[in-house]
Amino acid sequence: MKNLLSLTDVEKAYERVKPFINKTPILTSTLLNKWLGHEIYFKAEGMQKIGAFKARGALNTVSWLIENDQKPKHIVANSSGNHAQAVAWASAMNKIPATIYMPKHCSKVKIQATQSYGAKVVLCESRAIANEKVVEASKVEGTYWIPPYNHNQVISGQGTAAYETLMEIGKVSAVFAPCGGGGLLSGTFVATKGLFPETKVIGAEPLNANDAAQSIRKSSIQKLANTPNTLADGAMTLSVGEITFEYLKQLDAFYEITENDMIYWTQWLTHLLKIRVEPTSALGMVAAQKWLSKQSEKSKVLVILSGGNIDQQTNQKIWKTDFLQQRP
């Protein structure tokens, strides 16, 4: 695939979004570093606008459209939650009406938040139906579809999280990020390799929703037949995109994470960092622990915590078993 993104694309995206987004904190845990024997930095995107990194990609895309004299009359999007809120927020900022197609199994708090930003929410029986409806809606003249990951400007915007962090903490041995459709991971890859070509970029997704891992193994995009059974609602995509797959194929490693491991680290990161952590966010930490356990020398790594939006039902499932009795 030609015309892959470069560091320049991420830098331009950062200039667009920088005045409007939060410069989210970079956290560490002295205790965790002592236990694992490594230096681990966390980018807390749960403290971003709308509570997730998705604000970066959505705002960059809307800003890019306006910058290029292509301001739409109507914006549509399809999402299981965080992208929905992000598009609703970015559209409202620029006074553009938005309609979001969401599967009805979505987190109720994410549905309510999307509506609170002023977007019209259309609930669908499944993710596949939401995907079909947004394609149909995008055919109306003056309407622009901002997909959750398979778009160059979305990817460039998501890459600003890693860019912002690495510009502050400098070179690391590896950067870890979760994978749903691959937008965050692709942007992280572009930003990281652009700044530090030798730094490894490593992805992680739920074993129960492992379409990306299957795709990487088979060198072609594999699609899940049904909505996957995982607490990581940010990684419930049925398949990666044609654009994002080009970056995922270049990753240095990719891990498939069990639900128990993901929940274990959701609890521990919440406890150690004193912040809200979505289960999807913990995927990168599980991968980091697995990778670090194989390193013979002390390493400095970055884990991108993608978001912190959790509804009561998910929270009850996370804390059903107390994993804090089992030290890392």
Tens of pLDDT, residue by residue over 84-135, are: 999 999 999 999 999 999 988 887 888 898 999 999 999 999 888 998 999 9
Residue among 324, 176, 195 at smallest CA distance from 254: 176
Tens of pLDDT, residue by residue over 137-151, are: 999 999 999 999 999
Instruction: State how far the Cα of 272 lies from the Cα of 295, in Å rounded to an integer.
Output: 23
Residue among 151, 20, 159 at smallest CA distance from 76: 151
Locate 12 and state its tokens. 């331009």
Tens of pLDDT, residue by residue over 238-283, are: 899 999 999 999 999 999 999 999 999 999 999 999 999 999 999 9
Q: Cβ distance 79 to 123 under 8 Å?
A: no
Q: Indicate the angle between helix axes 54-67 and 7-17, nearest 10 degrees.
A: 90
Degrees (nearest 5) of the Cα angle 153, 219, 247? Answer: 25
Q: Which helix H or strand E contains 256, and what residues bound it? A: strand 253-257
Locate 186 and state its tokens. 């692709």
Degrees (nearest 5) of the Cα angle 86, 154, 210? Answer: 90
Instruction: Report the chain's C-alpha Rg in angstroms.
Output: 18
Residue 311: is its pLDDT beyond 90? no
Instruction: State how far the Cα of 133 lies from the Cα of 131, in Å rounded to an integer.
Output: 6
Q: Is the pTM of this model over 0.85?
A: yes
Degrees (nearest 5) of the Cα angle 124, 312, 131? Answer: 20
Q: Using the 8-state DSSP alphabet, how is residue 119 labeled?
A: -
- At 189 the pLDDT is 98
Residue 1: is its pLDDT beyond 60? no
Q: Cβ distance 287 to 204 under 8 Å?
A: yes
Q: Point out the least confidently predicted range of 66-70, 201-205, 237-241.
A: 237-241
Q: Which helix H or strand E contains 184, and what residues bound it? A: helix 183-195
Residue 19: is its pLDDT beyond 80? yes
